Amino acid sequence: MKSQSTKIMVAATMAIFLYGCDGGANDGGTNDVPPPEEPTTGTITISLTDDPWEDAMEMVLHVTGIEMGHADGSVIMHEMAGGGMSIDMMQLQNGEFSMLADNVEVPMGQYEWMRLMIDPSQSHIDLASTGGRHGMQMGSDAVNGLEVEHAFETGQSQHSEFMLDFDIRRGVQHHDTGMMGGEYRLHSAMRMIDMGESGGLMGAVDSSMIDINHPDCDDAPGGNWAYLFHGDVNEPDDISDVDTDGMPGPIAADRIDMDTMTGEHRYHFGYLDPGQYRMAITCSGEWDEVGDDDHPADPDGEFSFQMYSDVMEVMPGQMHENDMTP
């Protein structure tokens, strides 16, 4: 009898234990574990690059943060560690870049713009012509920072990478203030590219279009440039941001340099959105000044294009080789 009683007690104890582990799930018990919350953020990486410019030896921007405009009207702010970072833009050419933010968590959703916050008091430019250092001021279109309008989306647990391409020829402008030397102001002249989709163009330029060989060119250094336009632009125009002739200007410009290994004169456009493009070649680019309509009739008679290419296609993730010939 003793052995039988022990078996009954063990069975009863096991039944209670199993019921407790079940937590009364079959009768609406209170020990249910709630499901994990769905992520409400994605991550982004943001880098900065620059177009070439022959007028400066050094051009430093002190970036203090990045703002992003959400479609719901809110502004998402990413502050740089240590009060910001100083970046010499002259080192960010021919595909070089500086990473501003790496895997930053942001709310998911649609965004409409991005803005670089700049501290002008810690920014400067050293001119190649004189070697003099000048401070920087924010232009009227960049009072709140260097802004680019570009729609993008961050999905749930999604990672996106973007490149900000600053056009230094249009983005840094000299203004005559009536005082000696005037001042240099920063303007919003940037493109924003989704790195998951970007491609590029590169190639050689026929030597007959280089300034030392072409009859319409002068011998001034820095005149050989490639201007890039969208494929639906029928006629090339200058870099002026004062559009008085109704013609769209280039989306990017690259100085044509000689490859010392091959002797070829080459251009390079990286970080391009997929699509169609056309390219214009000039050997008098040093006369193309921001603020002046230098094409089709340069008031000084010094700026012109030597050729305008056929339409070229850029595919995602591909660098296309296209040589320019007359």
pLDDT 10s digits, 213-247: 666 665 555 678 899 999 988 888 877 654 445 56
Same-domain check for residues 299 and 204: yes
- Please give the DSSP secondary-structure letter assigned to residue 122: G
Q: Where does a domain end: 147, 172, 195?
A: 195
The structure tokens 């005037």 sit at: 182
Asked whether the beta carbons of 225 and 284 are under 8 A apart, the reply is no
Same-domain check for residues 189 and 224: no
Q: Give the pLDDT of residue 53.
A: 73
Count of domains forming the chain? 2
Query: Is a pLDDT exceeding 90 seen at residue 78?
Result: yes
**Where does residue 34 rank: exposed (0-12), middle (13-18), buried (19+ CB within 10 A)?**
exposed
Query: Is a pLDDT exceeding 70 seen at residue 24?
Result: no
The structure tokens 């003793």 sit at: 2
Query: Is a pLDDT exceeding 80 seen at residue 85?
Result: yes
Q: Which residues neighbour 112 within 8 Å (Cβ) at sequence distance 6 or greater? A: 69, 70, 71, 149, 150, 151
CA-based nearest residue to 254, from 272, 273, 233, 235 = 272
Q: Where does a domain end: 195, 227, 259?
A: 195
pLDDT 10s digits, 62-76: 999 999 999 999 999
Answer yes or no: is 2 within a domain: no
| Higher-confidence position of 271 and 216 | 271
Q: Which domain, by its residues, includes 102?
A: 38-195
Query: Is a pLDDT exceeding 90 seen at residue 300?
Result: no
pLDDT 10s digits, 88-144: 999 998 788 999 999 999 999 999 999 999 999 999 998 877 768 888 899 888 888
Q: Which of 177-181, 222-226, 301-305 has the lowest mean pLDDT?
A: 177-181
Query: Is a pLDDT exceeding 60 seen at residue 325?
Result: yes
CA-based nearest residue to 316, from 268, 271, 274, 275 = 274
Q: Which of 96-100, 113-117, 185-189, 276-280 has the lowest mean pLDDT?
A: 185-189
Same-domain check for residues 191 and 201: no
Same-domain check for residues 254 and 294: yes
Asked whether the beta carbons of 24 and 61 are under 8 A apart, the reply is no
Chain-wide mean pLDDT for the chain? Answer: 81
Q: Give the pLDDT of residue 294.
A: 46
Confidence of residue 10 (pLDDT cuts 50, 70, 90): very low
Answer yes or no: is 9 within a domain: no
DSSP codes joined into one string, 30-43: S-PPPPPPPP-EEE
Asked whether the beta carbons of 215 and 306 are under 8 A apart, the reply is no
Q: Give the pLDDT of residue 30.
A: 57
Same-domain check for residues 204 and 296: yes
Residues 30-59, mean pLDDT to the nearest whole number: 81
| Cα 125 to Cα 88: distance, rounded to the nearest angstrom | 9
Confidence of residue 15 (pLDDT cuts 50, 70, 90): very low
Residues 275-303, mean pLDDT to the nearest whole number: 70
Q: Where does a domain end: 144, 163, 195?
A: 195
Q: Which residues neighbour 187 within 8 Å (Cβ) at sequence distance 6 or greater? A: 139, 141, 142, 146, 170, 171, 172, 173, 241
CA-based nearest residue to 156, from 37, 72, 69 = 37
Q: Which of 66-75, 82-91, 293-302 has the lowest mean pLDDT?
A: 293-302
